[in-house]
């Protein structure tokens, strides 16, 4: 590095401390985020339970600047909590991934009772698909008719070979 570049970089550092931070933020263009990207980020945050801007950038294949903007939108909308010092935020309503129910016992019991009532109502209203055997057809005493003719001593009929 020569003397001119060194002097220019010192001047840039000195000037950057004079500029207000809000002016630097306004200088960057706002990121246009498609609605689908926001919805995918919302789903990822709820499914994983914890999320960071780096994770969103990797999973959604977007720039880190866009991932930070999506992350801030999720915080603003209450999907995730404020991030910790490590930059990881927890989902407010994570999806059930542990196998345990996230609902209260009373709500679960109410849902099960409603399902049982629905099953009982549908069983009362339906008719059987197979009718009962009509005794006038003679189908009721098939065991008596077939028993004398069945014998283990009779040879098994072989079918002709096809070739």
Give the count of beta carbons closer than 10 Å to the beta carbon of residue 63.
11
| CA 35 – CA 79 distance, rounded (Å) | 15
Residue 162 has pLDDT above 80, yes or no: no
Which residue shows structure tokens 């057809």? 137
Contact yes or no for 77/117 (Cβ under 8 A): no
Domains of the chain: 26-95 (1.10.10.10)
| CA 5 – CA 102 distance, rounded (Å) | 61
Contact yes or no for 91/49 (Cβ under 8 A): yes
| CA 13 – CA 5 distance, rounded (Å) | 12
Name the token pair of 1.
């590095």
pLDDT in tens, 22-35: 555 555 667 788 88
Q: Name the more confident of 44 and 118.
A: 44
């Amino acid at each position: 590095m020569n003397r001119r570049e060194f002097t220019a970089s010192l001047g840039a550092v000195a000037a950057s401390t004079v500029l207000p931070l809000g002016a630097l933020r306004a200088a960057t263009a706002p990121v246009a985020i498609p609605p689908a990207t926001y919805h995918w980020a919302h789903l990822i945050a709820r499914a994983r339970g914890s999320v960071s801007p780096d994770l969103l950038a990797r999973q959604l294949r977007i720039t880190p600047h866009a991932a930070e903007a999506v992350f801030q939108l999720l915080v603003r909308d209450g999907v995730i909590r404020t991030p910790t010092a490590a930059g990881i935020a927890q989902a407010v309503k994570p999806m059930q991934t542990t196998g345990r129910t996230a609902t209260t016992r009373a709500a679960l019991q109410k849902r099960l009772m409603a399902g049982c009532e629905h099953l009982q109502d549908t069983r009362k209203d339906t008719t059987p698909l197979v009718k009962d055997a009509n005794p006038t057809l003679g189908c009721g005493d098939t065991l008596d008719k077939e028993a004398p003719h069945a014998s283990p001593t009779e040879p098994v009929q072989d079918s002709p070979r096809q070739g």
